[in-house]
Structure 1
Amino acid sequence: MTDDRRRALALVPVPRETEERFAVYAELLERWQRIKNLVSPTTLPEVWTRHLADSAQILPLMPDALRWADIGSGAGFPGLVVAILLAGRPGAHVDLVEANARKCAFLREVARACGAPATVHNARIADVLPGLESVEVLTARALAPLPDLLEMGKVLIDGGTTAVFLKSRAEIGDEPGLAPGYEARLLPSVTSPDGRILVVRRAAPPKGPSHE
């Protein structure tokens, strides 16, 4: 076992079966990386920590959620990792939205090899999200600035979906500015001192004055 794998599993422990699926994922990523630039080459020696564990840490924030959607999925982080973690749970499903056809081919191969309950949509985000039903959590990582993410996910967030975005402290600071009507929780990443996890929800409407 590599030091990177050992460190990742210490930070975000997973069952043995899930670890084996992650190993298949890492092997396929390395193989596909030779012909398609899926992740930054400098991160490959730390794929377990930088990508797998970094993505896996968000599931405990919404442990009971079964329906997830991931936008700009790229190489599958965090959406496909979440799908692997949810494998075997009745009703679990993750929709992965990615416009690049070759990345979609990679996502489908990993999902098949790992038995992940995922559907890959080779389409634009704006064309897919309005048609998704019962999505409890929307995720994204390294896709776009926060205001753009909120606009992309507005159709789901305004309907009650919780957004979980993996960002960096350098990008959003310690108090991310949100448009009125939204509330957020900012959490530290367990895999990187610069990493931040932003949990965004539509704010509950203020209570009206009492007439008692």
Structure 2
Amino acid sequence: MSQAAFDVSRETQTRLDRFLALFAQWSARMNLVSASTRNDVVERHVADSLQLYRLVGTRQWLDLGSGAGFPGLIVAIALAERNEGWVDLVESNRKKAAFLRVAVLETGARASVHDVRAEAMIDRVPDCDAVSSRALAPLDQLLGLAEPWLCKGTRTKGWFHKGRDHRSEVSKARGSWQFDLVEHPSRIDRDSVILQIANLKRL
């Protein structure tokens, strides 16, 4: 992985390289990501996750539907260098959760893994600064999952990767929800955005 291309320190680069090696090993046995993006994991997944970390920074994170670790585990790896912040990774698929646990252990990422559904997390993590998710659900459903944290006031914000259909997802979500929205253009894919959502209220 190119240190210059992704603007990471040598320490973080070493951790990311270890993650990529584990990802390759486990992908040979199970589908961690779709086959169409497996050969472009650095750009499509790792770099895409790092841009979210650069937007939000050192915080207490809750990552819903963590899957193969994007974006939550990559954020947790970036946090390790500062020894600040924490990411709670939520992944109900036991096999993927097992991969996440191994990756956390071997990279030193600042994260915990919870192999439960998002609905079960409010008792485990009652407060956080950031709720993130990538490719988990349409926005209106995603807001329903994140509601217990995003409806608590201005402190907690949602950070959600969305693709070229993001405008239609936002429009549909506004039929059920009121929220403040900032769209951050993706630095990786010109058709994608990161949606920053705050002050969520159900209509």
TM-score higher than 0.5? yes
TM-score by length of 1: 0.86
Query: Which residue in 2 is equivalent to 1:192?
Result: 189
CA RMSD of superposed structures (Å): 2.0
Question: Aligned to 1:22, which of 1, 16, 26?
Answer: 16
Task: Please say if 1:124 is aligned against 2:124.
Answer: no
Q: 2:127, 2:149 within 8 Å by CA — same for their partners in 1?
A: no
Distance 1:131 1:38, change over 3 A: same
The answer to which of 22-31 and 129-138 deviates more is 129-138
Q: Which runs of 4+ in 1 moved over 2 A?
A: 88-91, 173-181
Distance 1:9 1:42, change over 3 A: farther
Distance in 1 between residues matched to 2:62 and 2:200, nearest whole Å: 20
Secondary structure of the 1:120 match is strand
Residues 188-212 of structure 1 show CA distances to partners (whole Å, capped at 9, x for unaligned) of 11111121110000169xxxxxxxx
Q: 1:174, 1:186 within 8 Å by CA — same for their partners in 2?
A: no
Query: Which residue in 2 is equivalent to 1:165?
Result: 160
> Unpaired runs of 5+ in structure 2?
none
Question: Aligned to 1:135, which of 128, 134, 150?
Answer: 128
Distance in 1 between residues matched to 2:157 and 2:63, nearest whole Å: 12
TM-score by length of 2: 0.89
> Unpaired runs of 5+ in structure 1?
205-212
Query: Which residue in 2 is equivalent to 1:209?
Result: none
Distance in 2 between residues matched to 1:163 and 1:56, nearest whole Å: 16
Name the amino acid aligned to 1:186. E
Q: 2:65, 2:90 within 8 Å by CA — same for their partners in 1?
A: yes
Distance in 2 between residues matched to 1:126 and 1:174, nearest whole Å: 25
Name the amino acid aligned to 1:155. P
